[in-house]
Structure 1
Amino acid sequence: MKTGAIIVAGGTGRRMKSSLPKQFMTLGGKEMFVRSVEIFHGSDFVYSTVLVVHRDWINKAKEILLKRGLNSVMVVPGGESRQESVYKGLLSCREVGLEAIMIHDAVRPFFSRSQIPELLRLVAPGRGVVVTEGVNDTVYLVGNDEVLDVPDRNCLRLAETPQTFPYDEMLEVHKRAVEENILSSTDDAQLFVRSGGQVITVNSIAPNPKITTAFDFDMAELLINKGS
């Protein structure tokens, strides 16, 4: 199955409270987005890799990729939202002839490359696959700070990435969303299900945290040091 990977790295680092976008910060001496790119770029199962970054950081991203020996990675400008950035990444792959697309957050640098074949075996026409994590804590559904319901946590999953779909179908899903003025979805599986697709979940085989805050970053450094 001819597969592409889109690494979404369009954020500007507001929640990290840093002038440097968090995906450009170094973890264990290597930029976070580079760690995420290498997961897919180094896989025998991925034909092409696209990095989507804020337009102001394109040249810097290309410079870093060249230094890291990853200059074959395509770099495209992102949009005003994650949804728009993913769509731009999808559009950049139109001439490649992809059958499947894996969409991954650049700020999840710990996803295990060895799980890629499992995800690709499960993706099929009309069916996507998302990496998830089980919920260990009790979760409340609230309104105005009042507990309205306590969902069964066995039926809940934390959404992670990569999320994998048939390429042509996901491109059409994004195109339709724009036509219907849906512009700020934060999850590709949500759009896929809304369009009538099926999405199945697979729990990550390794820690796969999203690095969003300074605390997350410190914990990520600890993970890397432990791995070393």
Structure 2
Amino acid sequence: MFWTSVTVNLTCFLFLAMADTDDLHVSVVLPAGGTGERFGSSTPKQFCPVLDRPIILYTIQNFHTLSYVKHIAVVVSQPYIDYMEELVESHCYNKVMVVRGAHTRHRSIYNGVKSLKSVLEPSDVVIIHDAVRLFVGESIIHEVAKAAKETGAAGVHRPLISTVIASDGCGYLEESLDRIKYRASEMPQGFIFSVILSAYEKATDDDFDFGTECLHLALKYAGTKARLVEGPTNLWKVTLRKDIYAAEGILKENEMHVQVAGCCDTELVTCLQRDLGARHLKVAVCDSQETCDLVDTNCTVYYHTQFDCDAITKYTENLIKEQKKDCHVHLRPFMDKVIVHVIMVGDVMDCCRNVREVVQGNSKCWRKKNLLVYFVLSELKTKMAVVSEMVASVIWTRDPVMHGQTYMALDL
């Protein structure tokens, strides 16, 4: 009776969740035409790599996987159109169209909105979101889309962190605003298509040249007062170079799920829980590669009590096969899958030579399949705490350049 009740409740929940999006037809405009002047790089920040992937791919991914998102217009400057189209094609983003940008933010967004005219109904929802706000989640996208559908316009806001002051033009304080009364306007912002299209059609050159706030255009030219939705703390955008390092750290923290496979020493599992953080480690230890959920986790520590070339090769081949079964693998630009082979042996140097032969024959193939494979060799007498620290360091660093490398965990 208990399980029947749980099943019925879960079914009802899933049905209601699906019904909640049935009436939503959402398209997205991602302005990505910035030059990265504040970022201080010759490469625009939206194309700078984080964990070996351009930032813009993370943002596209968040929208592309949602069933109610039908079209995504990515607006880029002329020099990057070909590059953007290559990214779209290589990642099989069939909802994305690449649109030529303009020399101001509003003009670029308008180009994106106009590109959707042939595929949208007036009552459909359009979400505008910065391409460099890569941590936008499904819950806030859905909330903004629903609010826009109901009121015509909606946008995310956050409390101000710093007090806003005004200068008198001579370098002296003239005014200090009460930050309790004001909010920071963030993205995403959503609109009924007819509202945002009408607002842009009526906007002046002054709006296009100096304006930045889409919600204000909807109020000023379409008479639509936006509903404000308080957003989470992770909607910040990559603006300065230091933000790249913050983004990398957050991605590693959010996207890492580790499992341990093989005949593993329970002491190693305990140490890994400490070094990785318990929430990152799938505590259930697999008895063998056949019992592992190879697709569900993106990092596997495979424990060997002796070197076995066939076992290492077979495990990796099985993982590649499992990836092919998953129809969404090609839509995952987030994280490469990581395999760390921990090999406990009596003679580390002899084992190192054997590992080298395996790597030389397979390393390039593994990398093409978005796998990062590392080897940690340890003498039998080495403390598990030392092995765990080495494994955790490899996982957290997950450097693509070091793919295929062998590390030695030794008591020094």
TM-score for the superposition, normalised by structure 1: 0.92
Check conservation: 1:130, 1:202, Cα contact below 8 A: yes
Aligned-pair identity in percent equals 27
Residue in 1 aligned with 2:363? none
Structure 1 residue 112 and structure 2 residue 137: aligned?
Answer: yes
Q: How big is the alpha-carbon RMSD for the aligned residues of Structure 1 and Structure 2?
A: 1.8
One-letter code aligned to 2:117: R
Residue in 1 aligned with 2:127? 102
SS of residue matched to 1:153:
coil
Check conservation: 2:153, 2:191, Cα contact below 8 A: yes
One-letter code aligned to 1:168: S
Task: Write the distance in 2 (CA, Å) between the matches of 1:2 and 1:129.
Answer: 16
Structure 1 residue 77 and structure 2 residue 103: aligned?
Answer: no
* 1:28-43 equivalent positions in 2, closer than 5 A: 28-43=51-66
Residue in 1 aligned with 2:200? 174
Unaligned runs of 5+ in 2: 1-23, 257-412
SS of residue matched to 1:155:
coil
Deviation at 1:137, TM superposition (A): 3.1
Task: Write the distance in 2 (CA, Å) between the matches of 1:90 and 1:143.
Answer: 38
- Computing the radius of gyration from Cα coordinates, the structure with the larger value is 2
Q: 1:128 aligns with which of 150, 153, 157?
A: 153
Deviation at 1:189, TM superposition (A): 1.2
Check conservation: 2:26, 2:70, Cα contact below 8 A: yes
Residue in 2 aligned with 1:201? 228
Task: Write the distance in 2 (CA, Å) between the matches of 1:160 and 1:19.
Answer: 26
Deviation at 1:222, TM superposition (A): 2.2
Check conservation: 2:158, 2:186, Cα contact below 8 A: yes
* 1:37-56 equivalent positions in 2, closer than 5 A: 37-56=60-79
Residue in 2 aligned with 1:190? 216
Q: Deviations 1:112-146 (Å, cap 9, x if unpaired)? A: 12222211221147631111211133332332333
Residue in 1 aligned with 2:90? 67
Bigger RCO (CA 8 Å, 6+ sep): 1
Task: Write the distance in 2 (CA, Å) between the matches of 1:183 and 1:7.
Answer: 17
* 1:18-29 equivalent positions in 2, closer than 5 A: 18-29=41-52
More helix by share: 2
Check conservation: 1:62, 1:71, Cα contact below 8 A: no
Q: Which runs of 4+ in 1 moved over 6 A?
A: none
Check conservation: 1:48, 1:73, Cα contact below 8 A: yes
Residue in 1 aligned with 2:246? 219
Residue in 1 aligned with 2:179? 153
Check conservation: 1:111, 1:206, Cα contact below 8 A: no
- The answer to which of 193-202 and 75-84 deviates more is 193-202
Check conservation: 1:11, 1:54, Cα contact below 8 A: yes
Deviation at 1:14, TM superposition (A): 2.1
Task: Write the distance in 2 (CA, Å) between the matches of 1:68 and 1:124.
Answer: 30
Task: Write the distance in 2 (CA, Å) between the matches of 1:8 and 1:138.
Answer: 28
Q: 1:13 aligns with which of 26, 36, 47?
A: 36
Deviation at 1:216, TM superposition (A): 1.8
Task: Pick closer, same or farther for the CA change 1:127–1:33 going to 2, 3 Å.
Answer: same
Q: Deviations 1:156-187 (Å, cap 9, x if unpaired)? A: 11111111011111011111114x65322212
Q: How many positions carry a matched residue from both structures?
A: 227
Residue in 1 aligned with 2:164? 139
- The answer to which of 54-63 and 136-145 deviates more is 136-145
Check conservation: 1:111, 1:204, Cα contact below 8 A: no
- The answer to which of 213-222 and 48-57 deviates more is 213-222
Task: Write the distance in 2 (CA, Å) between the matches of 1:28 and 1:113.
Answer: 22
SS of residue matched to 1:218:
helix
Check conservation: 1:112, 1:206, Cα contact below 8 A: no
Structure 1 residue 86 and structure 2 residue 109: aligned?
Answer: yes
Unaligned runs of 5+ in 1: none
One-letter code aligned to 1:129: A
- The answer to which of 134-143 and 108-117 deviates more is 134-143
Task: Write the distance in 2 (CA, Å) between the matches of 1:16 and 1:126.
Answer: 36
Deviation at 1:65, TM superposition (A): 1.4
SS of residue matched to 1:95:
coil
